[in-house]
Amino acid sequence: MPRLTLLCSDDPPEGFPDPGQALDDPNGLLALGGDLSPPRLLAAYRRGIFPWYEDGQPIMWWSPDPRAVLLPGELHISRSLRRRLRSGRFMVSTDREFAGVISACAGLRAAQGTWITTDMRSAYMQLHHLGHAHSVETWLGERLVGGVYGLAIGRAFFGESMFSIETDASKVALAALMHQLAGRGFGLLDCQLETPHLHSLGSRVMARRDFIRTISALTALPEQNGSWQTAPRPTTDLVSGPGDVVRLRGTAT
């Protein structure tokens, strides 16, 4: 029977067990403990492992099977959202308000319990300052109304969370992220766990062994560390010309 590995903060950052040892129930739970230092987090993501826990719990490390991913060119956008992108109602930017995005993601989930604990927020802020973590923001005028953030390693992007306080604002941010990842030569966006919402946006599932093999190759490619900061720009850029990476769904919503 599989047993959970207990990690200590002074264990080597790479000292994770084989993800194949993760539990089936709950799906993907692999290890407990350790810390959220940048070297350990980067080592975990390179191995297809991520932290997920709530306040009062030990750090829990997961590698679920299967894994939900979005591939470049496979983002599904409804007709109504495509019209919204073309309207230019929203503006999008990158790395302009990382702290605001992660705080908004945590705040919207606080009532139900959130894995974006104070320690998690501090850890990803540190990764952002080191040039590994990035955000895409959606703006309505001067107001931040949506966004998504995650971690870039090599040519793989590991999505963490997104939020929206205006209709479609998080989907706009996701479309802008996929547009940017395609332009930078990224091979996939890791979505961690499949949900009906992600499936409606075009995600597919990969067996854990295939996912780990894929990210092992992608994370070994040259890094694109540093700020990706851009000023707010019109969403019309996402749905026009040869850089269009949005695929239209067949039905209107």
Please give the single-letter amino acid code of residue 66: P
pLDDT at 162: 94
Provide the mean pLDDT of the chain: 90
pLDDT at 245: 43
Please give the single-letter amino acid code of residue 48: G
Above 80 in pLDDT, residue 1? no
Sheet strands side by side (includes 5-7): 5-7, 29-33, 60-62, 50-51
List domains and CATH numbers for the chain: 5-63 (3.30.70.3550), 68-248 (3.40.630.70)
Distance separating alpha carbons of residues 253 and 251, to the nearest angstrom: 7
pLDDT at 10: 92
DSSP notation for 109-152: HGGG--S--HHHHHHHHHHHHTT-EEEEEEEETTEEEEEEEEEE
Confidence of residue 73 (pLDDT cuts 50, 70, 90): confident
For residue 43, CA distances in Å to 12, 14, 17 come to: 10, 6, 12
Evaluate the omega torsion of the peptide bond into residue 66 and state whether it is cis, within 30 degrees of 0.
Answer: yes
For residue 168, CA distances in Å to 74, 81, 83, 105, 140 come to: 18, 7, 11, 15, 12
Above 90 in pLDDT, residue 20? yes
Contact, 145 vs 83, CB < 8 A?
no
3-class secondary structure, 69: strand
Nearest one of 158, 192, 186 to 67, comparing CA atoms: 192
Least confident of 65-79, 142-156, 190-204, 235-249: 235-249
- Please give the average per-residue pLDDT across 114-125, as a whole number: 91
pLDDT at 72: 87
pLDDT tens readout for residues 199-222: 999 999 999 999 999 999 999 999
Neighbours of 155 (CB within 10 A): 20
| Percent of the chain surpassing pLDDT 90 | 79
Confidence of residue 185 (pLDDT cuts 50, 70, 90): very high
Above 80 in pLDDT, residue 78? yes
Residues 6+ apart with CB under 8 A from 230: 93, 94, 95, 96
Above 60 in pLDDT, residue 225? yes
pLDDT tens readout for residues 80-113: 888 889 998 999 999 999 999 999 999 865 555 5
For residue 67, CA distances in Å to 4, 98, 205 come to: 20, 26, 5
Above 90 in pLDDT, residue 250? no
For residue 95, CA distances in Å to 174, 185, 215, 229 come to: 14, 18, 23, 5
pLDDT at 238: 82
What letter would DSSP give residue 238? G
pLDDT at 189: 98
For residue 228, CA distances in Å to 78, 133, 200 come to: 28, 10, 28
